Amino acid sequence: MGLLDRIFDKKLCAICGGEIGLLGNRKLADGNLCKACASKLSPFMTDRRESTVAEIQQHLAYREQNARVLLGVKPTRVFGRGRIRVYVDEDQGLFFVTGEQNYMAANPDVMRVDQVIGFTPTVHENRTELYHHDREGHRVPYDPPRYRSEYRFNLALDIQSPYFNRIEFEFSGDRPDDPRSELYAVLESEIAALQEALNSARYTVPAANPAPVPAPAPVSANDGWLCHCGQINHGNFCTNCGAKRPRVYRCDKCGWMPEDPSKLPKFCPNCGDPFNEQDVE
């Protein structure tokens, strides 16, 4: 078989069985992965090429469980000034990191605070030399040299997880231009507050068990509801982004709840009671 034959040879996804397009293949150690299945992997996973089909199947099962756990996470604080934010549920000792505004759709990895084994903030100075024009209009440096600086705050979290071990991102949004500025001090303070929140969260479990904790009960009407943007609300619409309150279904006879509210059964699989408007909370 020639090179062109190998390039255009039909490939099937080892996970879903679908045909993979010419530019859609994602190589595994012992197979191929389509673009759609690859999009379900954790964004922090870095060893996909070295993973076997069996390992990817296990990872995707974990991601499905993670989506269920995410439904019960109620962030009490949000940290970060840039695109990527850290959402911390201090009451349950859970957190996740994401740059997606609609984080429920993105399914960010939910982690316990005791999975953080390293917390490393760094500040990088970007310095640019300034120039001016002399009397003849030539662009020349100042004497002595002058510089414009900006300071980028990065954060690295070392994580105890079977699927990834490090999360790195820029913590700052607007970058301060002086270590003595108010913004510089605010960023230092917020990073320290995040570290304290991760250290002092009240829920703890043995570090030897890295599996996600079971999903807590969904937010009730009395407690409010959590919007995908992170805002906790008590009305029918989010006060931050205007999103409509999602429906919560629970069997009014036995209390069974569907894992995916968009795929409701006609009858409760636990007790056989019909699902209808009486089961909407």
210 or 89, which is more confident? 89
Cβ atoms of residues 3 and 9 within 8 Å = no
Write out pLDDT tens, residues 171-208. Answer: 999 999 999 999 999 999 999 999 999 987 654 444 43
CA 228 remoteness from chain centre: 12
119 with 129, same domain: the answer is: yes
Whether residues 206 and 86 share a domain: the answer is yes
Number of other residues whose CB lies within 10 A of the CB of residue 187: 24
22 plus 128 within the same structural domain: no
Domain end (from 168, 195, 215): 215
Residue 40 structure tokens: 């379900």
Domain count, the chain: 4
Residues 159 and 35 in one domain: no
Supply the range of the domain harboring residue 128.
74-215
* Residue 11 and residue 32 in contact, taking contact as beta carbons nearer than 8 Å: yes
Please indicate, yes or no, whether residues 81 and 208 belong to a single structural domain of this protein: yes
Q: Stretch 21-49: mean pLDDT, rounded?
A: 88
DSSP E strands: which ranges in 163-245? 166-170, 225-226, 232-233
Residue 255 Rama label (left phi>0; alpha psi -120 to 50; beta): left
Coil vs helix vs strand at 166: strand
Q: Is residue 160 classed exposed, middle or buried when 0-12, 13-18 and 19+ CB atoms within 10 A define those classes?
A: middle
The strand order across the sheet containing 77-79 reads: 77-79, 85-89, 94-98, 111-112
| Interatomic CA distance for residues 83 and 99, integer angstroms | 5
Given 215, 235, 256, the domain boundary residue is: 215
Q: Which residues pair with 168 in a beta bridge?
A: 156
pLDDT at 281: 61
By three-state DSSP, how is residue 140 classified?
A: strand
Query: 226 with 232: CB under 8 angstroms?
Result: yes
pLDDT the model gives residue 133:
92
Q: Are residues 257 and 208 in the same domain?
A: no
Whether the predicted pLDDT of 80 surpasses 90:
yes
Do 81 and 129 reside in the same domain of the chain?
yes
User: Is residue 90 located within the same domain as residue 48?
Assistant: no
183 vs 5, higher pLDDT = 183
On whether both 119 and 240 belong to a single domain, the answer is no
Its pTM stands at: 0.66
Whether residues 223 and 191 share a domain: the answer is no
pLDDT for 15 equals 87
Out of 132-141, 155-164, 189-198, 256-265, which region has the weakest mean confidence (pLDDT)? 256-265
Q: Are residues 54 and 103 in the same domain?
A: no
What distance in Å separates the CA atoms of residue 176 and residue 193, rounded to the nearest whole number? 19
Whether 187 and 96 map to the same domain: the answer is yes
Sign of the alpha-carbon torsion through 35, 40, 46, 48: negative
